[in-house]
Amino acid sequence: MRAILEIVLSLLAVMGLLSLGWILFGHILTPAGGGRACCVVPGTGDGGDLEQAVTGVLWLRGGGLIKGTVVIADCGLNAAGKAVAAALTLREPGIDVCPAADLPDYIREKARGGH
């Protein structure tokens, strides 16, 4: 019985150390400081992959791996694609839609602290 208890406690200790290492490694790889990122997701056509791409970036943002705005760059969205982009902006704060030609001006405005 004592041998089983020692094995279980050893496994728990190893799992705890692995978890701690995983968390520390994640903090090393995560950008430090209060810097913000502007994640640009290109949208074309009917926006077929747009929701999946934006959801992936939102998952990273929700986990604290990135901070900042998600920008859907309109690179030729049709009416259905624009509807998908509009639905995404309503679903979650911090998502903007910007025509691809206006993207440099948009990023400069964000860098100056504009909203």
Rounded to 10 degrees, the C-alpha dihedral 91/93/38/68 comes to -130
In this predicted model, what pLDDT tens digit does every residue of 40-95 receive, in sequence order?
999 999 888 899 999 998 888 887 777 788 999 999 999 999 999 999 999 988 89
pTM of the predicted structure, to 2 decimals: 0.69
Tokens representing residue 61 in the block: 């943002």
Domain match, 13 and 40 both: no
Asked if residues 67 and 94 have their Cβ atoms less than 8 Å apart, the reply is: no
Domain match, 42 and 6 both: no
Domain match, 91 and 105 both: yes
Domain match, 52 and 23 both: no
Domain match, 104 and 60 both: yes
Number of domains within the chain: 2
* Those residues with Cβ within 8 angstroms of residue 66's Cβ, 6 or more apart along the chain or in another chain: 31, 37, 39, 57, 60
- Domain of residue 3, residue span: 1-30
Domain match, 85 and 74 both: yes
Question: Residue 31 has what pLDDT?
Answer: 61
- If one compares 30 and 82, the residue with the highest pLDDT of the two is 82
**Highest mean pLDDT out of 10-24, 58-72, 98-112:** 10-24
Domain match, 57 and 89 both: yes
Cα 83 to Cα 41, 46, 53, 65: the distances in Å are 16, 9, 16, 28
